[in-house]
């Protein structure tokens, strides 16, 4: 037997026994009851165990907008919380993802090492009572300096010191580490007494304890519902892409689900949008962190050392032109595709098979779409 498969089977059996010991005790006595009774009961037991899979806390291999290490940190925290808070029920990865989405957008735009360390550090504004971020009461550290929330889950040092956990077992409790911060957030949300996060009232209380704002509670709940509704399928770039084209596509695909923000996006990642005096302002893009169409392409191509201007019309003037008349057959994965009519107003990255990835418009997110042939204005090839 494959050793990895054997380990997975053993791990599954151990967890299943812990959750449902009576079922496995029945299995243990089956040989004494005769072959016919054994077959009948075994079938019932296995069906019952299979039914429990609907309540799985496992996450998909990829979730749009969540870096892989962050997603692993959320799921690992869910597996460990039962040991730390045995009276807590109902913790699952979308709850932690909902909190992290509001606190740091899952540390997008930062480098996240495989051990969970995040650079540069994520630091909130100084809580000096000036009103920044809604803070009207000065909060100070023990050394007298003004406090700042830290890390992807934005913990104050005073709070961190009371609940900090070592989520990656390196002997350090670091708020700027994805694994430490996720497990600490899970512990904090569970509290000290019995709590069932599968119940709406308990979940609302937990989120409110994290940030005493009903607006915040509703925002996090909306994020949780969105993650709960995801089809749990891996996200992958087009298989025909290779080399620099694959690097560009992988970079763009890593941002699937990130909010559209007009004027947002730099070579480092999502950034705050700006005012446009029109549709974007109506959607509040100037208060959002994300990408617009050219900001996403700028970010993706920066991964291969190509600097693009932050404007789709200016990007259309670069590279080798692929005329509209040549159709989509002239495109390769990684090419830029542009929309008109009239002035160029939109750009995306071609994936192949008539599909592109793009930051579409205010009120949407980074997503995959078919190339609209009615508005397709041609492509540009920037890669050899």
Q: What is the pLDDT of residues 191-209, one digit of tens each?
A: 998 999 999 999 999 999 9
Is this prediction's pTM over 0.75? no
pLDDT of residue 226: 86
Distance CA 215, CA 202 (A): 17
Cβ count near 301 (within 10 Å): 25
Cross-strand partners of 359: 366
Q: Whole-angstrom Cα distance, residue 178 to residue 184?
A: 10
Separation between Cα atoms, residue 288 and residue 305, nearest integer Å: 27
From the number of C-beta atoms within 10 Å of its C-beta (0-12, 13-18, 19+), residue 106 rates as buried
Give CA separation, 80 vs 139, 191, 199, 332, in Å: 32, 15, 20, 45
pLDDT < 50 regions, the chain: 1-34, 36-57, 233-237
Q: Residue for token digits 């205010």?
A: 362
Determine the pLDDT at residue 146: 81
């Amino acid at each position: 037997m494959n050793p990895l498969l054997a380990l997975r089977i053993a791990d599954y059996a151990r967890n299943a026994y812990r959750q449902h010991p009576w079922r496995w005790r029945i299995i243990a006595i089956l040989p004494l009851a005769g072959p016919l009774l054994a077959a009948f009961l075994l079938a019932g037991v296995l069906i019952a165990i299979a039914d429990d899979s609907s309540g799985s806390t496992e996450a998909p291999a990829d979730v749009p907008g969540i870096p892989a290490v962050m997603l692993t940190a959320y799921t690992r925290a869910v597996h460990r919380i039962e040991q730390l808070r045995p009276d807590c029920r109902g913790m699952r990865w979308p709850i932690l993802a909902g909190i992290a989405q509001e606190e740091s957008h899952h540390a997008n735009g930062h480098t996240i090492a495989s051990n969970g360390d995040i650079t540069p550090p994520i630091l909130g504004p100084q809580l000096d009572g000036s009103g920044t971020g809604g803070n009207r009461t000065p909060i100070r550290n023990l050394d007298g300096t003004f406090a700042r929330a830290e890390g992807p889950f934005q913990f104050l040092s005073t709070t961190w010191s009371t609940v900090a956990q070592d989520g990656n077992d390196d002997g350090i409790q670091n708020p700027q580490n994805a694994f430490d911060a996720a497990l600490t957030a899970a512990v904090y949300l569970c509290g000290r007494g019995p709590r069932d996060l599968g119940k709406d009232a308990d979940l609302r209380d937990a989120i409110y304890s994290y940030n005493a704002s009903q607006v915040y509670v509703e925002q996090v709940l909306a994020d949780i519902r969105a993650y709960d509704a995801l089809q749990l399928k891996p996200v992958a770039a087009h298989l025909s892409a290779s080399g620099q084209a694959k690097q560009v596509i992988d970079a763009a695909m890593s941002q699937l689900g990130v909010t559209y923000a007009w004027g947002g996006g730099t070579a480092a990642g999502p950034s705050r949008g700006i005012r446009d005096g029109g549709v974007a302002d109506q959607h509040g893009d100037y208060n959002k962190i994300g990408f617009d169409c050219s900001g996403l392409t700028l970010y993706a191509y920066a991964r291969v050392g190509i600097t693009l201007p932050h404007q789709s019309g200016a990007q259309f003037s670069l590279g080798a032109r692929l005329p509209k008349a040549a159709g989509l057959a002239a495109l390769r994965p990684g090419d830029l595709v542009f929309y008109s009519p009239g002035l160029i107003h939109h750009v995306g990255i071609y994936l192949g098979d008539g599909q592109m990835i793009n930051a579409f418009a205010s009120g949407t997110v980074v997503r995959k779409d078919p190339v609209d042939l009615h508005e397709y204005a041609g492509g540009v090839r920037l890669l050899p």
